[in-house]
Amino acid sequence: MAKLIFFLALLTLLVAAVSSTRDDGEDFTRTIDRKLLGLHKKEKLTHFKVYWHDILSGPNPSSMRIKLPVTNSTSYFGGATMFDNALTAKAEINSTLLGQAQGFYAGAAQKEFSFLVGMNFSFKTGKYNGSTITILGRNPVLSEVREMPIVGGSGLFRFARGYVEARTKFLNLKNGDAIVEYSCYVLHY
């Protein structure tokens, strides 16, 4: 009898081990404690202002057109530009470098000058060094103030959400160079 109980217990353990190693795609998620990710802390609202320098001219541009707009387009529709633009503390390009804005803008409207913008603000100085926020949204560039959502972040901005307000401070219509003030409102832990 003792041998039978031992055998059944061993068989039960073997069946449990085999079934727990089965890869049926059902066990790819798990619930974790929010405290492990710092989500038990009080959420903060951080506001900061940076200046985005979009330089298409000269020998070392920070923006490159990678796709020309549709022929006869007056709105840049279908055109696409990739950039790695400086983010500074003041509108002057030689002011304190806070980080880089890396991403793209593409002409997304046929009848108005409006871009789809996707970019990361990657901070390289101070408390937020190594942290990013991600902005993805519609930018009707001829409007005085444009609002775009912050859809995420990393580092000290993990689980970030919020919005930015963009205001053009300088635009050279001949070569496309621009300086844009970004006022950022970020909720994060």
Where is pLDDT greater, at 26 or 97? 97
The answer to whether the CB of 77 falls within 8 A of the CB of 69 is: yes
What percentage of the chain carries pLDDT values higher than 70? 87
- Alpha carbon of 130 to those of 39, 122, 123, 167: distances in Å? 20, 7, 6, 25
Q: Across all residues in the chain, what is the average pLDDT?
A: 90
pLDDT of residue 110: 94
The answer to whether the CB of 104 falls within 8 A of the CB of 137 is: no
Q: What is the C-alpha separation between 121 and 119, in angstroms, rounded?
A: 7
**Could you tell me the pLDDT band of residue 9, with boundaries at 50, 70 and 90?**
low
The conformational region for residue 114 under phi > 0 = left, psi -120 to 50 = alpha, else beta, is beta
Q: What does pTM read for this prediction?
A: 0.83
Beta strands at 63-67 and 80-88: parallel, antiparallel or unpaired: antiparallel
- Reported as a single tens digit per residue, the pLDDT across 22-57 is 566 677 888 888 888 878 889 999 999 999 999 999
Q: Which long-range contacts (CB under 8 A, 24 or more apart) does 47-50 make?
A: 47/183, 47/184, 47/185, 47/186, 48/183, 48/184, 48/186, 49/181, 49/182, 49/183, 49/184, 50/87, 50/88, 50/89, 50/98, 50/99, 50/121, 50/181, 50/182, 50/184
Question: What are 116's two structure tokens?
Answer: 């789809």
**Tally of CA atoms within 13 A in the half-sphere of 51 that contains its CB:** 17
Beta bridge partners of 47: 185
The answer to whether the CB of 108 falls within 8 A of the CB of 114 is: yes
The answer to whether the CB of 184 falls within 8 A of the CB of 133 is: yes
- Is 18's pLDDT higher than 60? no
Question: What are 35's two structure tokens?
Answer: 């405290």
